[in-house]
Amino acid sequence: MPTDNQKTISVLFITRAYGQTAGGMERLSYELIEAAKGNKHLTVSVIAPWWKPLASLPMQRLLSAVFAVTVVPYALFVARTKDVVHIGDPVLSLVGWLIQKIWRKPIAVTVHGLDIVYDSGLYKYYLTKFFQNFALYLPISSHVTKILAARGVTGNIFLLRPGVHDRYSDSTIRREDLQSISALKNINLSSKIIFTAGRLIKRKGHAWFIQHVLPALPADVIYIIAGDGPEKILIEKTARESGVSSRVVLLGRVSDHDLKILYNTIDVFVQPNITLTGDVEGFGLVLLEAALCGRSVIAASTEGVRDAIEPGKNGVLVEIANPDAWQRAIQQELQHPSIRDGRTYTKDTFSWNTVAAKFTNALRSTVSESRK
């Protein structure tokens, strides 16, 4: 007879955000599910939207609100035979609440940060009604854990930092490969290149960085930004008004191929987050990807970023919204990189195999408690 630690658990994943190359929430959900599929102690079923590859990220997230409601009948049908159900974020709380209520199945939910601090009266009421009493909460950083604990949820809270796949590092890529990217075909390869990847949203601090930091850096420093989002027009305007538009390159969304080239050729990866009320940086996945490629990584010391970057091991943390500190840190890294091997620490600490094992143990404990 197998012991409790040897028994296979059947888990149903329900996610409205699912994709290998989309936003952070989509990628986290995809990679967690893929890691779970590779664990011999789990049998995995997935309910996810089918339209993801067909839409832009903003449209995906708009459609996902529709999914959160229309998925209910099918989710109820599939969940009846499972040991535990995982929902990808609190927006799906109604689905989890109904499954828990009707089938008495334990519900686990990943919590990213913004999904519990979003400043909407209606959404706050929704969470109060349907989110508070699940069996297991999985915040992705220490900061999100504190926010969650302050809500007074009744279930167990288990910190589960995301993993990262080593899929971008490539020692065969050379600096001149940057010119194969159409927007960079005329780039001066002797320039110092700093780089940011991610959605163009206010909390990422792109416009703040362009206004307060970039003008004070040497004239040969170029700032490349990969990503799209609602702040694009403001970022372009700020670059013009700050007199650095010739040193700022907005690439828009880039392919995995181009992102790999960028990660392996730029000088410093930066993430200059700023603090916003009602918004939060849950983690810092792109920071880990850059560190795995052997890049110098500099990030604002804020919220979930502190769970991704360990100063002296895989990056540098800088006081948030401090222009002088940012200028000093960047110039230091351009001249004398302080992190010689952030790759090894990042790979050892954020392995998806390790994350999947922790996730499985948390689910196993949850299922055992639900059967008492």
CB neighbour list of residue 169: distance below 8 Å, 6 or more residues apart: 263, 264, 292, 293, 294, 343
Tell me 191's DSSP state: S
Q: What is the pLDDT of residue 66?
A: 83
From residue 100, alpha-carbon distances to 105, 207, 242, 250 in Å are 5, 44, 54, 46
Mean per-residue pLDDT pooled into runs of 10, the chain (372 residues): 67 90 80 94 93 59 79 97 97 97 98 93 96 98 96 96 94 97 96 96 97 98 96 98 98 95 97 92 93 96 95 95 97 86 92 93 96 82
User: What's the Rg (C-alpha) of the chain?
Assistant: 21
Residue ranges of domains in the chain, CATH in brackets: 9-163+351-370 (3.40.50.2000), 175-349 (3.40.50.2000)
- Closest by CA position to 98, among listed 124, 134, 45: 134
Residue 6 is predicted with a pLDDT of: 65
Six-digit token string for 338: 């302080």
Contact by Cβ (8 Å): 240, 209: no
**Residue in this structure with the two tokens 């194969």, named with its chain if needed:** 180
Question: What pLDDT, on the 0 to 100 scale, is given for residue 173?
Answer: 98
Residue 2 pLDDT: 39
pLDDT value of residue 371? 86
- The answer to whether 174 touches 265, Cβ cutoff 8 Å, is yes
The residue among 109, 59, 73, 72 whose CA lies nearest residue 88 is 109
Global confidence as pTM: 0.90
Check residue 143 and give its pLDDT: 95
Task: Say which residues have a Cβ less than 8 Å from residue 263's Cβ, sequence separation at least 6.
Answer: 168, 169, 269, 289, 290, 293, 295
Strand 248-252, strand 192-197: pairing? unpaired
Identify the DSSP state of 278: T
β-bridge mates for residue 47, sequence order: 14
Q: How many angstroms from the chain centroid is the CA of residue 14?
A: 18
Q: CA angle, 51 as apex, 47 and 55 as ends, to 5°?
A: 140
Q: Could you give the 3-state DSSP secondary structure of residue 99? A: helix
The answer for residues whose C-beta is within 8 angstroms of residue 160's C-beta and 6 or more apart is: 110, 138, 139, 140, 355, 358, 359, 362
